[in-house]
Each structure stands twice: as structure tokens, then as C-alpha cells.
Chains A and B, each alone.
Chain A
Amino acid sequence: QSVLTQPPSASGTPGQRVTISCSGSNSNIGRNIVAWYQQFPGAAPKLLINSNNQRPSGVPDRFSASKSGTSASLAISGLQSEDEADYYCSAWDDSLTGRVFGGGTKVTVL
């Protein structure tokens, strides 16, 4: 059971907008930056964006993030086939004094 809660799956057709939610608590999402990671099979995770909407260079602006209270979300606009991957949210938890992750969301492009 992950500390942060994500839906196990999400899907959309090319060009659609897909949103992934991440629910936590005051000790993690409520107080700290939330980061989103993209992971392809057999590869290491890669930082996609954080809750301040900061993206590393090379990440397209189709990816956007937001946070409100103890929940965060990742939106993928103009869904493309290469977006098919697993997505994880994460934040530092001040009560656990450690990093917590969501269980991951598998995005499928139909």
C-alpha cells in the first residue's frame, strides 16, 4: 500500500488530454514539492515535472502539473504514442522523514 494514491491505469486516444491524480496528506503533498516521473520498461525513471511546473530541458510543454492542498495532478495534453509509459508521483514526507511514492499509473495510448 503506497503512501501516495494514484490510479493504476489511464488511457486516451492520440491528441486527447489525460490527467493522473496523486493523493497524499499534509505531511507530504501538503508541505512539499511533488515530482512526477516517467518510466519506460527496462529503463530508469526520469524526472518529468514538479508541482511548480518546472520541467527539465527536453521535456515537452504538453506535460503540466498542479497541486492543491493534499492532492496533485499531472496532465498530458495532445497525447502521443510515445507517452505510453508508467508515471509516478513522489514527495518528501516530513512525518516519516523519508520520500514517498505513488503506486504508479500505466498510461496506454489507444
Chain B
Amino acid sequence: DVQLVESGGGLVQPGGSLRLSCVCSGFNFRTYWMSWVRQVPGKGLEWVATTRESGRGKHYVDLVKGRFTVSRDDATKSLFLQMNSLRVEDTAVYYCARENYAIDYWGQGTLVTVSS
């Protein structure tokens, strides 16, 4: 079975940093694009970043460019999101997701709260 398990969320002060991880299993990780999508509680879904297979290309929503970095480790089937200069408006549940012309699998999400 395909599984995506996120970790690393928590409470952080504005201006702080956090690193999210997503460990994947049940599929050939290295051949898939992988994405991060976030959702403010009670609001809609917002795409954050995507890394192509082998990390050959990375794409970000404008709001996080220069602050967030997506990366992957194919050996450990892991996806990461390094989040720096965090803002209150980055508060959300962050989902790890597998891309297959559309997102076809989602993790359970990890909550990031940015607050003083």
C-alpha cells in the first residue's frame, strides 16, 4: 500500500524555522514528482511546492519563494520542506502528496503554527 507519513510540525515564533519530513513507502519514490500542499484550518487547499523526479526541477508558489526549500532523498524515500522566515500566515496543516498527472495520494498532514 502507498503510504506518506509527515512529521516535523509544531509551534514556532514568527521569523523562525521548521523542517518538515515525509517518509514514503509502497511505490517507486524516485520516479514520481512530489508536492507539499497546505490548508489553513477551515479554509481551502493551497499548493506550496513541487519537486520533480531526481530533484531536477523545483517549483514554488510566489508566497514562499526565497523562504521555503523543497528537497528529496531518494535513498530513504523522503521528502522535505525547509521553512525559514516563517510568518503568522504560514500557519496551516501541511500535506505531503504524490504527483501522477494529478495528486493521487496524500499524507495525513502535520500542523504548523506560527505564533508569538
Contacts and interface: CB of A to CB of B under 8 A. Distances in A.
Contacts of A99: 35, 37, 47, 50, 99, 103
Nearest to B101: A33
A103 B61 CA distance: 16
B50 A45 contact: no
B88 interface: no
A44 B22 CA distance: 15
B106 A88 contact: no
Contacts of A104: 44-45
B68 interface: no
Interface in A1-58: 2, 32-35, 37, 44-47, 50, 56
Contacts of B107: 44
Interface string A69-108: 0000000000000000000101110000111111110000
Contacts of B75: none
Given A44-B109, A99-B47, A99-B50, A90 B104 contact: no
B14 to A, nearest CB: 25
Contacts of A90: 45, 47, 102-103
